Each structure stands twice: as C-alpha cells, then as structure tokens.
C-alpha cells in the first residue's frame, strides 16, 4: 500500500509557505509534506528534512529526485531525532525558519516494509526501533523488564485497561521460552483478555503495540523536548504544525500550545484540532485518528 500523507492540503493551508521561505519537516517519513512545501517555497526556499530512520531518508531522496522541477540543493536531509531539533538546526546553520511540521504517525513503509515488527498484522521480530542505532528493542522490554514496569508502560503509554493481566501473562510465558515475534506476543495478549474483548473495531493488540513502540523510542519525551525548541527556532510570524494520532500525544501538544498562548509567545490558529474528512478517511483509513494543531509565533 502506497503511503498517503495525512491532511496534506490542511497542512499546506496552515503553514502557508511562501516563495523563498525556509521550512523544517521534523519527521520526514515518506516525504509527502516535504514535497508540497518544496513546490511552494521555491525558487530559493529550503527544507531541512529530518528522520531518525536512515532508510526513510533514502526513500525521501529518491522521491524528491524523481520529481521534475525541484532543485535538490533546496533539500537538506539529516538523520536525527526531532527531539534534538535545536542541535540539528545549529549544526546545519539553518536560519530564518517560517514553518515547522511534525507528523507523529508511522508511514506505510515502516508498517509494511521495515521488518521491525511495528504492525501486529505481520509476523516479524519484535524490534520496533525507528533507528537501528537505538540499543533498546521491544523484544528486550518484553523479555527483561519486571512485571510492574511492563504494567506501567501498558497502562500509561497504551491506556490499556487490561495492563495487569497482559503483563502477568507475558511474564508467565517468557519463563517457558523467549518471546521473539509479533505472533508470539499477539497470542499472549489474546490469552490474557476476556473473550468478548478480543473482537471489536480496534484490534485487541493495538494498545500494547502502541505502548511498546512509545517506550522503545522515547516518543513522548522526544515530543516534549521538540515543542519548546521548535518555538524558539521559528522566526516571528512562523508557524508550528503537529499531527498527532493518539490522545497522549495530542494532550502534550494541546497543553504546550495553550501555555505558549497564555504567555503571549504564540497565537493558536486551530481552536479545535483539524481532523480528516470522511473522503480522506475512506481513501486512507489510517488517517482516521489524526489531529492537526497549529500555532503562530509572536
């Protein structure tokens, strides 16, 4: 399945890129948003595009290279974590930034082609790292972390109401053999749940997989670090847009934006988050939980 960038038109409308302005795509992914910004901010405007996943950067370069009329000199690709955006901007001497975007979702490439066990629908190793330079894997957490710590991350990062029974079953099963694959874990989660909770619109493994991915990659801490650094980087009148996909991320973004508005540092441009249209959800079901919030730096 080809990756479809979420809320592409809405992002462009809110970031409002103009000729020769510089922008940052803090989570390059499949380059859909990056490409649209490059189309709008020529002939001299640049985009600093970050991704923690080296393979994503190769795909981004291929996609932009294949696009006619885009000068590759205007694209700066950096392998790096968006939680260190301040350091990356300084190292690349990237100035006069009028817009920053962070799309916090997984790309279709990561879900379907990475081989890292992000999806509970493919039987792969329980890796879940965005960057292979990260030492911690989901397999490490599942097999080595104490039961109370497992329960804590499932409850806090996955908002999983059966966190205790799932953690208990994981610890029981890992005594018998190492838990290594997606199917191993999905089977354990199913075993831990009452039968009626194994059916529903949301797959019963969704919250556990979300919790593990957040824990492996430190995503919530990275987001908390990213937001204030981004506001500092922006030129006055610049805009920060964030697309989140679950309540934990959205709450962090909403609270930071409100605080920045109260302090007089920014103006909130989205009083309520922008969500995908029914047409977009039909074309791209993965977009259904997306929420876009944007602020303007004063």
Give the pLDDT confidence of 59-94 residue by residue, as tens digits.
Answer: 899 989 988 889 999 999 999 999 999 999 999 999
Sequence-distant (6+) residues with CB within 8 A of 223 are 83, 102, 104, 249, 252, 253
Does residue 31 share a domain with residue 150?
Answer: no
Does residue 211 share a domain with residue 139?
Answer: yes
98-102, 131-135, 224-228, 236-240: least confidently modelled range: 131-135
Query: What is the count of structural domains for the chain?
Result: 2
pTM of the model: 0.93
Q: Provide the pairing of β-strand 47-51 with 75-79.
A: parallel
* CATH number, domain containing residue 153: 1.10.150.170
DSSP state of 237: E
The answer to whether residue 276 is domain-embedded is: yes
* CATH number, domain containing residue 250: 3.40.50.150
Crossing angle, helix 32-40 and helix 54-66, to 10 degrees? 40
Does residue 249 share a domain with residue 105?
Answer: yes
Does residue 199 share a domain with residue 123?
Answer: yes
Domain span including residue 200: 113-217
What is the number of other CB atoms lying within 10 angstroms of the CB of residue 95? 10
Domain boundary among 168, 197, 217: 217
* Mean pLDDT, all residues of the chain: 93
112 closest CA partner among 207, 215, 30, 198: 30
């Amino acid at each position: 399945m080809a990756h479809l960038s979420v809320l592409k038109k809405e992002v462009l409308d809110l970031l409002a890129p103009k000729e020769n302005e510089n922008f940052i795509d803090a989570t390059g992914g499949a380059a859909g948003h990056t490409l649209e910004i490059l189309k709008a901010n020529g002939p001299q405007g640049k985009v600093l595009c970050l991704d923690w996943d080296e393979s994503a950067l190769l795909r981004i370069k291929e996609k932009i290279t294949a696009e006619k009329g885009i000068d590759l000199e205007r694209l700066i690709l950096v392998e790096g974590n968006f939680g260190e955006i301040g350091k990356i901007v300084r190292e690349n001497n990237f100035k006069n930034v009028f817009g920053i975007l962070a799309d916090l979702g997984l790309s279709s490439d990561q879900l379907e082609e990475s081989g890292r066990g992000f999806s509970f629908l493919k039987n792969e190793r329980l890796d879940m790292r965005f960057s292979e330079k990260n030492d911690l894997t989901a397999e490490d957490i599942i097999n080595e972390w104490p039961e109370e710590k497992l329960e804590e991350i499932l409850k806090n990062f996955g908002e999983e109401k059966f966190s205790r029974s799932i953690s208990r079953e994981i610890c029981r099963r890992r005594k018998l053999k190492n838990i290594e694959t997606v199917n191993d874990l999905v089977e354990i989660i199913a075993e831990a749940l009452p039968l009626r909770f194994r059916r529903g619109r949301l797959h019963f493994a969704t919250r556990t997989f979300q919790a593990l991915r957040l824990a492996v990659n430190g995503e919530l801490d990275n987001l908390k670090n990213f937001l204030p650094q981004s506001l500092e980087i922006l030129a006055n009148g610049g805009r920060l847009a964030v697309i989140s996909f679950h309540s934990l991320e959205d709450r962090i973004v909403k609270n930071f934006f409100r605080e920045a508005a109260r302090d007089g540092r920014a103006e909130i441009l989205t009083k309520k988050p922008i969500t995908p249209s029914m047409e977009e959800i039909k074309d791209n079901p993965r977009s259904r939980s997306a929420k876009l919030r944007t602020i303007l730096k004063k």
